[in-house]
Structure 1
C-alpha cells in the first residue's frame, strides 16, 4: 500500500516517541531491582527491553481506545498527529533531563489533544473518554497501587519477621527478578499500545484503514521493537530517582512494589484503560516505602513528582497546539520548521544532560536515604 510522505514522517516520529517512552519508563520496571542489586544494571535493562517487545503482542485494547476514542479522526489529519507527537517527545526529554518520572502516556495524550484542539476545535475531542479512560485512572491508579504495595510490604515483613534477614533478602531478590520481569511485560503491553494507537489513528485519517480498524501486525511489531530498544538504552537518570531518592528500598519492598505494579497495569490494559505505568510504579514504590517505615519516605520528592504529573498533560498540550498552528498555517514549510526546531531542542537537551551524566556504572552512587532517629527508635 502506498503512503504519502507525511504519513511516513508521522510513523517515524511516532516510533521516535515510542523509543523515548522506553528509556523514560525503564525505571518503572527495574529501578528497585537495580537499587537492591537483585540485578546488575545492564542485565536489568536487557531483560526489560526483551520483555517489552513480547508484551506488545499481548493486547490491543488500549490501542483501540486511542485510535477510536479520544479524538474525532474524521476532523484531523496526519499533520495534526505529527504536531501532537512533537509535544510529547519534547516533554519526555525535558522531564528525563530533570530526572523526573513523569508520564509518557499523558505527554502523548496532552500533545495529541492540544494539537487537535488547535486544528479542529473542542468538538473534535471526546472529553467523556478523556475523563473516564485517562484522567480518572491517572488519579486512582497511583493510590490503588500504593495501597496494595503498602499492604504487601507490611505482610512481607510480618511473615518473615523471625526468619534470618540474609535468607529473606536473598529470597526476595530472586523474587524481584520475576516481579520486575512481569512489570516489563506489563509495560510493553500497556505503553507500546499507545504508539500503536497513534499510528493506527494516522492511517485511519489518511484513509489507509477503516475507522474501526485495529493496529496491523507490522505496526505492533514496529512499536514493540522501538519501545524495547529504548528500554535497553536505559533511562538511568529516572532509575536513580525512583531507586535511590524516594526511599531506602530493601528487597521485600522492591518485590512488593513490582508485584503491585504488574497486577494493576496488566488488569487495566486488558480493560482498555490508557493507564500511566509511571504513576502506577511510582505509587507502588511510595507505598512500599511507607509499608516499612512511614518516616523513611521522602515526601518532598513525592511533591516534585506530583507537580510534574499535574503539569504534564497541559504542558504537552500547549507545545502540541503551537506545533499544530505552525504546521497548519505553514504547510510543508511549517512542518519542516517544526521538525527542525524539535530536533534542535532535543539535541540541546542531550548536550545539557552530559553535564551530569548518569549511566549503568554510577546509577546506584546516590547515597541511600538516611533513616530518621525517630524511625530507628520505633
Structure 2
C-alpha cells in the first residue's frame, strides 16, 4: 500500500507539472521570446534543478496534519488518509486542466490534506495552516500584482525615449532569463510539496521518522514534475498568455521577474507553500494594468479568482468523500 500511495503521489507530481507548465513559460511563448518546445524543455530542466534547492516547503506540508505510525508497523488507516488527500488534489487538477482554468495545484494538495484530515478526525495544525498557507496565499498574489506594476512603471520610465522595436528585442532576450528564474522557482516550490506528501506516506507506513527527506524521494519528485512539465499544459497556457491581457516582452519580463522573486522569498525565507499559479497570474495582471486598467480582461480574471477561492474546499470535499468510501473497504 505504501508503494501504491507513493506512485499516486508521483502521478500528482506529474499532473502538477503539466498543469503548471504554463506558469513558467506562457508569457515568454505569447511574446515569442521562446518557441513552445524550447520553453518547455528549459522549464522541465530547471524544474528538476529547482527541486534540489531546499526542503523547507516539504517539511511544512508534512506538518499540516499529524500522522503517526510506530516504526516498522505501518497503518492502513494512516495511509488511507494520505491517499485520500492525493485523490482530492489530482481530481481537482484534472477538472481545472480540462477547462483551462489556472487554479493552484499547491492549494489543491493542501485542500486534499485538510479534507482527509478533518474527515478522519486526524489532528490538523491550524496555526501552520493559517500562518504558512492562508496568509501567504493572500499576500503572494498581492505582492505579485503590486511588484509587477511598479517594475513595469520603472521600465516604462527608464526606456521612455528608446525605440519600441529595440526595447522589445532586448526584453525578448531578458525574458529568457526571467522565464528560467520562474521555472526554477516552480521546481523549488512545487516539487517539494510532493516530497512532503511522500514522506507522510512513508511515516504512515512505518518506514520513516519524518525528520528528513530521503535522497530517492527528491530524485523521484524532481523527475516526475520535470516530465510533467515537458508534456505541456497548452489549455492553461492560452489563458495565461493571451486571454488575461495581450502581453509584450517588457510586460512579460516584469511579470516573470516579480513572480520568480516572490516564489524564492516564500520558499527559502518563509518555507511557505505558495501557489506559482496565483503569483504569476497576479503579476501578469499587474504588469498589464500599467497600460490601462481596462486593458486587463477582468471577466477572465474574475473566473480565475473564483477558482482560487474554491480550490481548497473543492479538493477537501473530494478527499473527504474518498476517505469515507475507502473506509468501507478497510477492516
TM-score range, shorter chain: over 0.9
> TM-score if structure 2 supplies the norm length?
0.96
1:264 matched to which residue of 2? Answer: 262
In the superposition, the TM-score normalised over structure 1's length comes to 0.84
CA contact (8 A) 1:63 1:214 kept: no
Shift of 1:280: 0.6
2:65 corresponds to 1:71: yes
Offset at residue 74 of structure 1 (A) = 2.0
What displacement does 1:120 show?
A: 2.2
Q: Write out per-residue CA displacement over residues 131-177 of structure 1, whole angstroms, 9 at most, x where no aligned residue.
A: 11111111111010110000011111111111111111010000000
**Where does residue 167 of structure 2 map in the other structure?**
168
1:33-78 per-residue CA deviation (whole Å, 9 max, x = no partner) reads 00000000111111000100000000100001111x1001128611
Q: Please tell me the root mean square deviation across aligned C-alpha atoms, in Å.
A: 1.1
**Distance in 2 separating the partners of 1:291 and 1:108:** 34
How far has the Cα of 1:253 moved from its partner?
0.2
How far residue 195 of structure 1 moved from its aligned partner, in angstroms, is: 0.2
- Tell me, what secondary structure is at the counterpart of 1:73? coil
Q: With CA pairs under 8 Å and 6+ residues apart, which has the higher RCO, 1 or 2? A: 2
Q: Secondary structure at the match of 2:64?
A: coil
Match of 2:207 in 1: 208
Structure 2, unaligned runs of 5 or more:
70-76
1:254 corresponds to which of 252, 255, 259: 252
Q: How does 1:127-146 map to 2 (within 5 A)?
A: 127-146=126-145
1:223-270 per-position Cα deviation (integer Å, ceiling 9, x unaligned): 000000000011100000000000011100000000001100011101
The answer to whether 1:243 aligns with 2:241 is yes
Three-state SS of the structure 1 residue aligned to 2:329 is: helix
* Corresponding residue for residue 304 of structure 1: 303
Q: 1:164-211 CA deviation, whole Å, 9 max, x = no partner?
A: 111110100000000000000000001000000000111112221114
Alpha-carbon distance in structure 2 between the residues aligned to 1:291 and 1:65: 36
Q: Which residue of 2 aligns with 1:117?
A: 118
Aligned residues: 323
State how far apart, in whole Å, the 2-side matches of 1:322 and 1:273 are. 27
Deviating above 3 A after TM superposition, structure 1's stretches of 4 or more consecutive aligned residues are none
Paired residue for 2:74?
none
Is 2:5 aligned against 1:10? yes
State how far apart, in whole Å, the 2-side matches of 1:263 and 1:279 are.
Answer: 14
Give 1:80 deviation, angstroms.
1.1
